[in-house]
Amino acid sequence: MNRIASPNIVLRCTLDESIDSGLGAALKTESTVKLTIPSIDCSVQDPLRALAELRQKLSPRGDVVSETGRQRTIALFGESLAPRQVVERICADVRDRGVSAVLDYTEKLDNKRLTAETMRVSAEELAAAHTSCDKQFLQTIRRIRENIAEFQSRILHEDVRLIRQDGTSRVDLRQRYLPLKRIGICVPGGAAAYPSTVLMTAVPAKTAGVKEIVVVVPPTDFGGYNQHLLATCAEVGVTEVYRIGGAQAVAAMAYGVDGLPRVDKIVGPGNLFVALAKQHVFGDVDIDSIAGPSEVVLLADESANARYVASDMISQAEHSPGSGVLITWHAPLIEQVRDELSKQLAILPRGDLALTSLNEYGALILARDANQAAELADLLAPEHLHISMSDPESLLEKIQNAGAIFMGHTTPVAVGDYFAGPSHVLPTGGTARFANGLCANDFLKRSSVIWYNHDALEDAAEDIVRIAGVEGLTGHASSIEVRLEEDE
């Protein structure tokens, strides 16, 4: 993803951090569903314009604030501030005042009074959570951990060495990879618990050899006090867990505060303020990306099952905000999927959240043929691309831009989100045209190692001096010549 955000990078309240999950809501009747997801027929409409409008809707700049948010910032700061300004204030305060500022914002924003000692989850609490956790859940965590570790270890970079020997002239060139010493992981915890985020970030880091891993998670029942989350941390060997969230947690990891030494890199999702804070501290630390709304694009032919397609669109839309887009060249599938969306949204506990997202950020697109469908998908450059075809390989070679690609009718995105092995931390907001998903290699630092013996330096001297002269860097040339003058 993926290190620096473009000006129009997607910034979101990810993973429902600021939205009521509605898990306890009563099941709805189909009559309550008002699905208005737009349909686009490429034979009569300009698909490029339609996709540009959709992408624009998914790409706020982080300077829009609701009335509720405005009132909250007035109460906290004494004036109305945009989210980016809020983040700048919080980060500066944490940098200047350290842990006191972190604890103050935790009390004001999360309504949780902690001390420098209690903000860190104790070793006893982690052990107790692990011991009392459901054994079948822990077995699931172990299987997922093994899947992730197996895949990540297979793709891990290895040192490279090149030796050039010509008589007595010898050059030794190496590319050396070393793990980062200390990394930080943001785990959401506002409306649901996310042990999967721990797995998909901490396990690749451990596979790369990172020794010190910090997890920050809001001080909520779904976060820093959640048994499944803490048990997962213990299971994968994360011992440094802090009950802090939001921009203050990002700033604490970036700058370091008493009791929480600074990290080298920050990864993981979060709400709008976490995303903006990561962008703000980049340069003091490395980051993985600025995460945007979850999104899936489905390329589907006549063999696609409308029920499956609808469920895949809903699976990403339920993050709210989230986007689900169908692109097909089989016209009957459009209305079949529309009908299935209405049916499934009517009975899913989180259907109301998914409905809002699909109406606002979804689309049903009828392409001319498979080639045009692939072209449109590449323009969207989605986080998740699902090729829902009987022969998905036939279209795969036409795809350039996607964070993760899911093949065939029996590989829904949830397989990648939870189980397969590649990380589910992926580029969003169209950044997959140049960015990559998180992997073990992102936790490696590389250095080149160069050694020339005397004869090799003498062989290269004329070329080095010549190009240094063209650039006017006489000191560079002199550093070569002075070594050869000794021979004379």
pLDDT tens figures, 110-132: 999 999 999 999 999 999 999 99
pLDDT > 90 fraction of the chain, expressed in percent and rounded: 75
Decide which of 367, 400, 420 is a domain's last residue. 420
Sheet containing 363-366: order of strands: 39-41, 363-366, 322-328, 294-300, 384-388, 404-407
Both 250 and 393 in one domain: the answer is no
Q: Is residue 48 pLDDT above 60, yes or no?
A: yes
Report d(CA 156, CA 164) in Å as an integer: 26
Q: Domain for residue 446, yes or no?
A: no
Could you tell me if residue 467 is inside a domain?
A: yes
pLDDT band at 63 (very low <50, low <70, confident <90, very high): low
pTM of the predicted structure, to 2 decimals: 0.88
Pair 300, 284 in one domain: no
Which of 310, 380, 469 shows the shortest CA–CA distance to 480? Answer: 469
Query: Which pLDDT score, from 0 to 100, does residue 304 have?
Result: 97
Q: Are residues 221 and 257 in the same domain?
A: yes
What residue has token string 């070569």?
A: 480
> pLDDT at residue 5 above 50?
no
Strands (E) across 398-442 are located at 404-407
Q: Do 279 and 298 reside in the same domain of the chain?
A: no
CATH code at position 319:
3.40.50.1980
| Range list of β-strands (E), 43-168 | 160-166
Do 156 and 280 fall within a single domain? Answer: yes
Whether residue 238 is found in the same domain as residue 278: yes
Same domain, 287 and 301: no
| Residue 448 domain flag | no
Residues with a catalytic annotation lie at 383-384
Residue 145 lies in a domain: yes
Report the C-alpha gap between 479 and 487 in whole angstroms. 14
Q: Is residue 442 part of a domain?
A: no
Within a domain: 12: no
The enclosing H or E element of 450 equals strand 444-452
Q: Is the dihedral of CA 474, 478, 479, 484 positive or negative?
A: positive
How many separate domains does the chain show? 4
What is the residue range of 44's domain? 33-58+293-420
Task: Look at residue 135 in the predicted model and tell me its pLDDT.
Answer: 96
Q: Are both 299 and 388 inside the same structural domain?
A: yes
Query: Which of 291, 314, 337 is the last residue before a domain boundary?
Result: 291
Name the least confident of 38-42, 84-88, 455-459, 484-488.
Answer: 484-488
* pLDDT band, very low/low/confident/very high, at 142 (cuts 50, 70, 90): very high
Same domain, 372 and 260: no
Question: Any bridge partners for residue 448, and if so which?
Answer: 175
Considering 253, 275, 291, which residue would you say is the last residue of a domain?
291
Please say if the pLDDT value at position 317 is more than 70. Answer: yes
In a domain, 20, yes or no: no
Q: Tell whether 286 and 155 lie within a shared domain.
A: yes
Kindly state whether residue 431 falls inside one of the protein's structural domains: no
Residues 236 and 319 in one domain: no
Are 138 and 282 in the same domain? yes
| Residue 58: per-residue pLDDT | 63
pLDDT for 318 equals: 87
The pLDDT assigned to 480 comes to 96
> Over 5-69, what HEC string results?
CCCCCCCCCHHHCCCCCCCCCCCCCHHHCCCCCCEEECCCCCHHHHHHHHHHHCCCCCCCCCHHH
